[in-house]
Chains A and B, each alone.
Chain A
Amino acid sequence: MGNSYKDLIKQAQSKAMEIRRKQKLDLKSPICIYDVSQELELTIQFVPLAGLEGMYLNEEEGQRILVSSLRPLPRQVFTCAHELGHHLFEHGLKFDEMEKVSLIKQRDPKEFLVDCFAGFLLMPKIAVYNAFTLRAWTPATASPKQIFTIACSFGVGYSTLIDHMTYSLQMLSESKSRELKKFTPKKNSSVN
């Protein structure tokens, strides 16, 4: 990972911490991204968008985040945080196509930045450690079921948590990440 991407990660983390601090949200608890967005006077609208994850609209009459109502709930949460990132980093009108809202797949710096921001806002490092510690689990030996449980506690998807823990928080090795990703909660309803 190049220095420019490391800088983007730092920027994203700093902005996410700033938002938590300004809204008096501690760093160890999951948050409701819709409350956070509304506190920033953004309107959240769920609309049936078949080919989009979401969109940020910056109109004179007000800023608005559109989230596709056709996507799974954890995906909607991450999309809203991602679009909030576009708002906070003043990226202007943005569309985010299906499946492109995911960490590390993005190489467009703006998209990478807001993906990292979404990850840090929803899952600060302390909160992720806390989620494991409370359950007497450790990231290095976590099972797919444990990862899925913690992802649910943050309201995000299984792969989203793994990506965030691997690339932003560096709590998982890439080999552990690959091993965990062999499982998907949808296909393996009895993950261990």
Chain B
Amino acid sequence: MSESADIRAIIAERIRKARELAGLSQGQAAKILGLHRPSITAAEAGNRKVSAEEISKFADLYKVGVSWLLGEGEQQLDPSDSKLQLAARELKKLKPEDLDTVLQVIASIRGKR
């Protein structure tokens, strides 16, 4: 796979993950953004290029950082992240699936820098 295809796959995965974290279906996201649902499907599958304007709209809608959508930072924080250490005792109480969700949300917020 070429480097550009790799990047496109990462962006596609992040767009999908951000939509899921925002609790929206592909149809709902398409309606809000004024797109056809297959456009969202294709973007999330990495089957089409996504413009800078679209990335910005996705970031606004999904409340995540543009840079995170573009592949910067981790998709999911490591629980040993220094800023999370303060809450390490609390983190241990979380169910594994909740911990994954929370770490993904925090990673996506940090991409707003």
List which B54-82 residues lie within 8 A (CB) of chain A.
63, 65
A47-B100 Cα distance, complex, nearest whole Å: 12
Size bin of chain B's contact surface:
20 to 34
> Are A97 and B93 in contact, with the CB atoms below 8 A?
yes
B67-105 interface code vs A (CB 8 A; 1 in, 0 out): 000000000000000000011001101110110011001
A93 located at the interface, meaning its Cβ lies under 8 Å from any Cβ of chain B in the complex: yes
* Known A62-B112, A93-B87; contact A52-B106, beta-carbon cutoff 8 A: no
Which residue of B63, B86, B95 is within 8 Å of A45 (Cβ)? B63
- In the bound complex, residues from chain A placing their C-beta under 8 Å from that of B10 are none
A48 within 8 A of B: yes
Residue contact B21 to A51, C-beta cutoff 8 Å: no
Q: A69 vs B21: C-alpha distance in the bound complex, in angstroms?
A: 10
Q: Mark A85-103, 1 if CB is under 8 A from B, else 0.
A: 0000000111101000000
B37 at interface by CB-CB < 8 Å: no
Q: Which residues of A contact B109 (CB under 8 A)?
A: 57, 59, 61-62, 64
Total chain A interface residues with beta-carbon distance under 8 A: 23
User: B106 to A57, Cβ gap below 8 A?
Assistant: yes
Q: Which of A45, A60, A61, A62 contacts B21 (CB 8 A)?
A: A45
Do the beta carbons of B23 and A60 come within 8 Å of each other?
Answer: no
**8 Å CB interface, A107-151 against B:** none
| B113 and A50 contact, CB distance less than 8 A | no
0/1 interface trace, chain A 66-78, chain B, CB 8 Å (1 if under): 1001000000000
B residues near A43, Cβ cutoff 8 Å = 63
Choose among B23, B112, B113 the residue that contacts A47 (Cβ–Cβ < 8 A): B23
Cβ of A66 and Cβ of B105 under 8 Å apart? Answer: yes
Flag if B110 contacts A52 (CB, 8 Å): no
- Tell me if B22 counts as interface (CB < 8 A to partner A): yes
Q: Is A46 an interface residue (CB 8 A)?
A: yes
The residue that A49 contacts in the complex, of B63, B98, B106, with Cβ under 8 A, is B98
Kindly state the separation between the CA atoms of A139 and B98 in the bound complex, as whole angstroms.
40
A95 cross-chain contacts in B, Cβ below 8 A: 87, 90-91, 93-94, 102
With both chains docked as a complex, state the minimum distance between the C-beta of A187 and any C-beta of chain B, in angstroms.
27
Using A51-B94, A95-B87, A95-B94 as known contacts, list a sample of 17 further A-B pairs with CB atoms less than 8 Å apart, ordered by residue number in A: A43-B63, A45-B22, A45-B23, A49-B98, A50-B95, A50-B97, A51-B95, A57-B105, A57-B106, A57-B109, A60-B113, A62-B109, A92-B86, A93-B87, A94-B90, A95-B93, A95-B102
